[in-house]
Amino acid sequence: MPNYINILKWPPPRILVFGFALIIVLGGFLLTLPIASNDGSRLSFIDALFTATSATCVTGLIVVDTGTYFSVFGKVIIMALIQIGGLGFMTMATLIALMLRKRISLKERLILQEAMNQSSMEGIVRLIRKVILYSLSIELAGAILYTLRFSFDMPFRRAVWFGIFHAISFFNNAGFDLFGHFRSFTMYVGDPLVNIVSMLLIILGGLGFIVMADLLEFRKNKRLSLHSKVVLSMTGILIAVGAIVIFIFEFTNSKTLGSLDWGSKIWASFFQSVTPRTAGANTLDYSQMRQATVFFTIILMFIGASPGSTGGGIKTTTFTTMIGAVIAMIRGREDIVLFKYRLGKDRIFKALTITMLSLALVIFVTMILSTTEDQQFLRILFETTSAFGTVGLSTGITPELSHVGKIVIILTMFAGRLGPLTLAYALGPKTEKELYRYPEGKITIG
């Protein structure tokens, strides 16, 4: 049995799991307070815990309507949980330590390395400073643009509040909104400014802070790292392909794209292609989409965003590595080569492990929910993948989940935010170095 008594001696993955769990429980308790609701009623603890988990894990699945149920206090708590969950509690703790001019210890650097999914500690504090600066700057710009647009539809003070909340929510890929009645951004389906600002916030939040740092320093360095090249190219491909597929599948669907003009069709197609990359907002009703579109969206949600970002999923780099492995095998090559660089075997094994663990989790949870919930299989699979990828898109079944279903989705969102591999490292026994190797054997594959 692992020793859970001395927290300071825990490995970084276990501290991350414990830290996120503690924040979720605290947020859930605050959301049960009467002051958190508009009518002064107490939200049941299971619903409060679900909402806190969804906010901290930057998912966006909701069991009560955020815009109409919660008071300003409740909405501020949700917004704070989104910010902490998106940037990571260790990043926020580092911000406080830097403001107080405290030294970042070796243990804290190791935890930051794990939280940011970095391969080494070199320059980790410098990276955290950039993360905080970039995040706050992008959120501020998004809040200003949203405020200017929303001020045409509501009083200015309310527009400012809506601008700040949605900028934080979208940049952190959370998908929470304040418009009420589970509408998300459907009323802005053809609005160019809202679509552009929303998609930019989602994409920038999903690229990862390493890529953003690379892009900002490109003028000085005149080059991008292999990681940035892979992330940018795969992100562009997924967005373009996603928009084309959704446009084709939904073009004649009168309940989604069919009733819109050409401009709105294009905006909606791109928005619905971007948002499954773990953002959770929508301008079309997913419950009215064709099954082919819903299934294709499940694939996009499973892939998710990029490492070191505010998003979830198996990540674009993992997906690219798996595709590279398939191409290399078909061509009869031993190495996976991306942009004239060969990937190490450890990267390939890690990508395979993450993909298989994630797939196993989605299948297992879908089987459980298929037993506990009276819903269509595709909707359950959609909800499960949305929870795992911390996306937040829903076909409308979340508020109808049983208590068991809600608990299962809570655990899935938690596992999706931290990653199955991190959870395995955190909860599993301490690994020991192998002292010997077995002789090589051969089996027939395929």
User: Could you list the residue range(s) of the whole structural domain that residue 333 is in?
Assistant: 7-425
Residue 296's region, left for phi above 0, alpha for psi from -120 to 50, else beta, is alpha
* 439 assigned to some structural domain: no
Is 404 part of a structural domain of the chain?
yes
Specify the number of domains making up the chain.
1
For residue 152, tell me if it sits in a domain: yes
Please indicate, yes or no, if residue 446 is contained in any of the structural domains: no
Q: Give Cα 270 to chain centroid, integer Å.
A: 18
Q: Is 436 within a domain?
A: no
> Residue 16 domain-assigned?
yes
pLDDT in tens, the chain (446 residues): 444 445 556 666 677 778 788 899 999 999 999 999 999 999 999 999 999 999 998 888 999 999 999 999 999 999 999 988 887 655 655 555 555 555 655 555 555 555 555 555 555 667 677 778 888 899 999 999 999 999 999 999 999 999 999 999 999 888 899 998 788 898 999 999 999 999 999 999 888 777 887 888 877 877 888 889 999 999 999 999 999 999 999 999 999 999 899 999 999 999 999 999 878 889 999 989 999 999 999 999 999 988 877 778 899 999 999 999 999 989 888 888 888 889 888 888 889 988 999 999 999 999 999 999 999 999 999 999 999 998 989 988 999 999 999 999 999 999 888 776 666 655 555 556 667 777 877 776 66
Q: Which two tokens stand for residue 106?
A: 């070796």
Q: d(Cα 446, Cα 435) in Å, to the nearest integer?
A: 32
The answer to whether position 434 is within a domain reads: no
Residue 2 belongs to some domain of the structure:
no
Predicted model pTM: 0.88
